[in-house]
Structure formats: structure tokens, C-alpha cells
Amino acid sequence: MDNESVERAVGALLTALGYGPPHFAEFDRTVTRVRRLFTEELLAGCATDPASVLSNPLPADPKGCEWIVLEQVQAVTLCPHHLMPAVGTVSLGYVPRDSMVSFGALHRLVRAATRRLILQEESAQTIVDALTGALGAQAAACTIRMAPTCFSAAHADGCQAVATASAFVSTDLSRWSFRDFLLLCTNSAGHARA
Ligand SMILES: [Zn+2]
């Protein structure tokens, strides 16, 4: 990303919002802070192809393959409608075919799929597609639960709102279902059984 252009654009936004000179001096470092927050944090996933973080798999025994689940990974994403962050957790799981990856790689997959201008459901689908595509998993599931700050800022009575999105793929629904995944997620187990 072009840092100078981003900082100029942030400065132009402040000016358009009525915070131009003489106020602008107060915001001298704001443009750099905002640029760094967006390019180095909120949009850091754009530099990574989600499938590429799964490119060094370990062998897995297909006979013993069952769900591998990583729950409650802290995550942040940027709403493409309002350019505001949503903060929450991602739970993901997959059934290996003949390859598996470290939890560290799953964490990097979450970062690559969420730290973008992207809707939660698209992030969930990106994660599932990478697990079934690049890793060749027999099934994959992802649930994202996040508090969207754009919603809570606009609706004071909705400030506790949490949005949930999910995605799921299975090559054999009789063996690997989304319900199985939810039952393995301790935080969702009660919900799944209800
Ligand atoms: Zn929004």
C-alpha cells in the first residue's frame, strides 16, 4: 500500500469533516496513526493469500481422521460498509484427508481471512475454502462471532449485539456434519443441542 497516499487521504477526510486548518495541527500525528492502524493491523491480512499459510502440511493418517478444532481465536475484521472494526472470535475445524497443519498455521489462516475489508460470512467461507481446497480436508467448518462497532455506534440500544456467521463444507454429510463441529465447540455445545 502507498503510505503517502493513505495519509493524504486521511488528511483530506479530516478536512472534509470540518477538521482542516486551523484544527489540523492537532491531528498532525493522527494521519500516521490511522494509516498504521489500517495498513499494519486492520488490513494486514491483505498481504497474505489464505491458502499459502497451509502450504507446509504434515502427513495425517486418513484412517484415524476426525475433527480437529481450534476454538475462540481472537480476531478483528473491518466492515466494508462502514470501514469500522468488528471484534470477536473465530472457531474453525476440519477433518484431514491425508494432510494436517499446526495450530499456528490455523491462527495465521484466521488473520489472513479476517484482517481485510470483508464481511464475516466471506471470511468464514474463505477459511473453509482454504481448508478443503489447499489442504484437501474432507470437511471444514468455521463460525465467526463478532461485535460490529458500526452497529453499536449507530444503535446505542444494540451495543451488546454480536453477529454470527458460519460456513461449512463436507464431502460426506453422513459422516461429518456441521452439528458434529458445533458439538465439539464447547462454547456452542448448549446452543447446538437446544
Ligand atoms: Zn458496518
Contacts of 190 (CB under 8 A, 6+ apart): none
Contacts of 101 (CB under 8 A, 6+ apart): 54, 56, 57, 58, 135
**97 touches 62 (CB < 8 A):** yes
- Report how far ligand 1's centroid is from the alpha carbon of 137 (Å): 32
Residue-level pLDDT at 191: 43
Given a cut of 80, whether residue 80 has pLDDT beyond it is: yes
- Report how far ligand 1's centroid is from the alpha carbon of 194 (Å): 30
Residue-level pLDDT at 155: 81
**What integer is the mean pLDDT of 41-59?**
94
Partners of residue 148 on adjacent β-strands = 86
Pick from 101, 73, 97: nearest CA to 87: 73
Residue-level pLDDT at 194: 32
Looking at the fold, whether 188 and 97 belong to one and the same domain comes out as yes
Rg of the chain in Å (alpha carbons): 20
- Report how far ligand 1's centroid is from the alpha carbon of 126 (Å): 19
Question: What is the spatial distance between Cα 194 and Cα 53, in angstroms, rounded to a whole number?
Answer: 36
Question: What is the spatial distance between Cα 174 and Cα 169, in angstroms, rounded to a whole number?
Answer: 12
Partners of residue 140 on adjacent β-strands = 94, 169
Contacts of 160 (CB under 8 A, 6+ apart): 147, 152
Diameter over CA atoms, the chain: 70
Looking at the fold, whether 63 and 33 belong to one and the same domain comes out as no
Question: What is the spatial distance between Cα 68 and Cα 153, in angstroms, rounded to a whole number?
Answer: 37
Looking at the fold, whether 64 and 37 belong to one and the same domain comes out as no
Looking at the fold, whether 32 and 56 belong to one and the same domain comes out as no
The residue segments making up the domain with residue 149 are 51-193
Given a cut of 70, whether residue 41 has pLDDT beyond it is: yes
Question: What is the spatial distance between Cα 151 and Cα 143, in angstroms, rounded to a whole number?
Answer: 20
Per-residue pLDDT band for 20 (boundaries 50, 70, 90) equals confident
Looking at the fold, whether 67 and 121 belong to one and the same domain comes out as yes
Given a cut of 70, whether residue 193 has pLDDT beyond it is: no
Residue-level pLDDT at 189: 45
Looking at the fold, whether 184 and 132 belong to one and the same domain comes out as yes
Looking at the fold, whether 16 and 58 belong to one and the same domain comes out as no
- Report how far ligand 1's centroid is from the alpha carbon of 65 (Å): 39
Domain tally, the chain: 2
Looking at the fold, whether 32 and 73 belong to one and the same domain comes out as no
- Give me the chain's average pLDDT, please: 90
Looking at the fold, whether 135 and 80 belong to one and the same domain comes out as yes
Per-residue pLDDT band for 153 (boundaries 50, 70, 90) equals confident
Residue-level pLDDT at 187: 58
